[in-house]
Amino acid sequence: MNNAQNYTIRARNFLIKEARKLKKEFINAKPFPHIGIKNFLKGYKPLLAAIESGQFYRKDSDLFSFSQTNNLFYSKNLIIQSAVKLFSSQTFSRLISAVSGIKLKAGALDVFGSLYEKTNYLLCHDDRVEDRKIAFILYLSTLSKKDGGSLALYSNKCCHPYKKIISYPPIENSLFIFKVSKVSWHEVEEVLSDKKRYAIGGWLH
């Protein structure tokens, strides 16, 4: 039987110099503060396998069509528990605070696994619910532009999304964060290929 130590999911080390550089990029990003951090975890494959084998539930409304896990806080899978522990840790909230310049509470987050398959999407919205401050997505799959499933960011005009400014195809083991505000208009573009887009996402308060 594996030792519990083998299930530990850790973020790679971040030097102060790198965090400063990331903060500059985050603050200056258009259309609103955001950044993608590549190679975020030290080995993400066990986490992908754990998420892939988990239970997903269809979520379907006017705004979205995709599959989602229950809140991963309640997962019994040790690898997922370890990932949740990382996202709830002071280390994680301090890192995100350092990059975003936003004061965050450690442990105060919701975290879910998501799966987007062919024709799945999440239409444009701003993510503002309660006191969410930062949204984060850890991608566990890589999709190219032609596969769809990119995260598209929109500019704001008169309190509505206006123009698509940039879109980011998911890259496995990259952490994408953005500041939640009344202008954080974003969408997950429709998945066009048979590739599966796995991610873990949530919000820091």
Q: With respect to another protein, which residue has the nearer C-beta, 10 or 163?
A: 163
Residue 120 near residue 66, CB atoms below 8 Å? yes
User: Please, which residue, 39 or 144, has the CB nearer to another protein?
Assistant: 144
CB of 119: closest distance to another protein in angstroms?
Answer: 4
Nearest to 85 by CA among 111, 115, 48, 52: 111
Min dist. Cβ of residue 124 to another protein (A): 4
Our CB check for another protein shows the closer of 52 and 117 to be 117
Residues at the site binding another protein, with contacts judged by CB under 8 A: 60, 62-63, 65, 119, 121, 123-126, 154, 160-161, 185, 187, 190, 192
Exposure of 142 in the CB half-sphere (CA atoms within 13 A): 8
Using the structure block, give the residue that is written with the tokens 């997950």. Answer: 188
Least spacing, CB of residue 90 vs another protein, in Å: 35
Question: How buried is residue 44: exposed, middle or buried, by Cβ count under 10 Å (0-12/13-18/19+)?
Answer: buried
Using the minimum distance from each CB to another protein, give the nearer residue, 74 or 162: 162
